[in-house]
Structure 1
Amino acid sequence: MAEHNHEELAGNRFFWVTILNVVITIAEFVGGFLSGSLSLISDAFHNLGDSFSIVFSYIASRVSKRRQNARNTFGYKRAEIITAFLNSIVLGVVCLILMIEAAKRISQPEPINGNLMLTIAVIGLVANLLSAYLLNAGSKSNLNMKATYLHILSDALSSIAIIIGGILIDLFNWTLVDPVVTILVAAYIIYEAIPIVRQTFRILMQGAPNIDYEAIKHDLLQLDGVFSVHHVHAWLIDENNIIFSAHVNMHDMKISQVQPIYLEITKILKNKYHICHVTIQAETTRGEDEDIIYDRGNDIP
């Protein structure tokens, strides 16, 4: 019941954040064209992308809750990772396009209505801060939510920069501020998106988590009956769930005697190393001299 209420609350927050972004997008497109501000128009495109990303993020979060089945034996948690990866890539591409357009504006400046630009930017800032507040809680432990939250937070920063630009244009007629602000904000957004792209790409490529394999081997060798550990694999389903498999050399014994050792191994890996799924292959002498990480040719042909 608690999980259902949490999902319902998350759904409500996604809904209101989407509505806010649509309102901001329309306001900034209209205000940008009327004022001649490239930074407002660029932020409107940014917000339009955010609206789509929020919807996709919500769909992905719902899909990720589906239970594993014969088609997806590890479940659907990767749906959020894929969405976070694509959202961050799209955000980076949009920012590069805006930086190119801003560079053109620097060489060919255009007149800008600073008052209108400032008014629309203030409205956008208020709406973005409210959206960021709604998504803040889920962004700390979920890459999908973090990517969406980053979109919203970058919009808030864009609005602040546009406000400053609007003030300078209104007071001093410094129209050059508009494309400069666009470039600075776009560069910052790309800088913030790169770590998410790297982390999600690593997960999608079955990258290993940051765990101490030698410490794991040392701990397992303390168990009675275990004398070697080799051929270890570890990978991430998402940013929170680690899968682990290993070949463990044990003294020759009955399967009924092996089972308690399995339970001890699983307990150590789950409690100390936060591994959620453990697969152990018991062996006697096969591979006992191999390294803990297999590196002798093709591993999984």
Structure 2
Amino acid sequence: MRYRVTHRTTYAYDEDVASSFGLAHLRPRELPWQQVAARTVVIDPVPGDITEDIDCYGNVVSYFHVSQPHTQLTIDATSEVTVLPTVYDTEALAGAWESARPLAKPTASPRSWAATEFALESPKVRHIGAAREYGAASFAPGRPIGDAVTDLMHRIKADFHYDKTATTVTSTVADVFEKRAGVCQDFAHLALACLRSHGIAARYVSGYLATRPATGTPRLVGADASHAWVAAWLPGSDQWLAFDPTNDQWVSDRHVTVAWGRDYGDVPPVKGVIFTEAKNSTLRVSVDVAPLEDSAEPSPGPALS
């Protein structure tokens, strides 16, 4: 599938901001299953300094500094992307889940070292007892890694409710267990905690999901949102099985990959520091993932999920 992705982030302040430093993960990655024809990031006011770099996980990162006074900052990212369905190695999917633990099985693959970091705790994914206990139901001894991960995905969808009011960007895995609700970021962190607490290497993935309207209903421009999912390591092939616990499905050609890391804290769409006397501010985010032939200007949509 070919898409045009537009992502607009607008900050507004009640007093001048003298200086704004920002970091953005808004440019989709080039991957074997994803080709990027174009990608741009435009910032208003125009930054005095803007730099693009590659971080330690291979993500494209934009750094910028707006030094002129402003009461509004707008970041527009536009990309044209082709996404192909991923074909997984069937033998790797059939391997026992225990082999996907790079700390316990460092010789399972020549690249086990590269997966090790993703089996460790991270600031937003703590290996709490509740996560280990919940995950245990999916990880019977010797169960194929593909089956175990898929079962965990099904259970999260059945046992946790999508509710944008239940959590915030600072909520923990323990909070999600307590409320049994959250958004895609929370369900990704929950799945990661279940996997990693059993030693399985898995990474947090940020990106976009193209929505499909009901038959006979026009697609709403701007109705998409930033999305998050998980990829579990398959040591037999060094592939990563990407799955979407929010929607109970393996990642498909509807998912556009932007960045990955240990958790949300490594790859937020935009973060930064401002110098201002402002007491109040507002944030608006609009996202649109449109089939290329149907692409149009974005309209305001939901905030990051």
TM bracket, shorter-chain basis: under 0.3
Higher relative contact order (CA 8 A, sep 6+): 2
Q: Structure 2 length normalisation: TM-score?
A: 0.23
Q: Structure 1 length normalisation: TM-score?
A: 0.23
Higher alpha-carbon Rg: 1
Q: Which has the larger share of helix?
A: 1
Q: Which has the larger share of strand?
A: 2
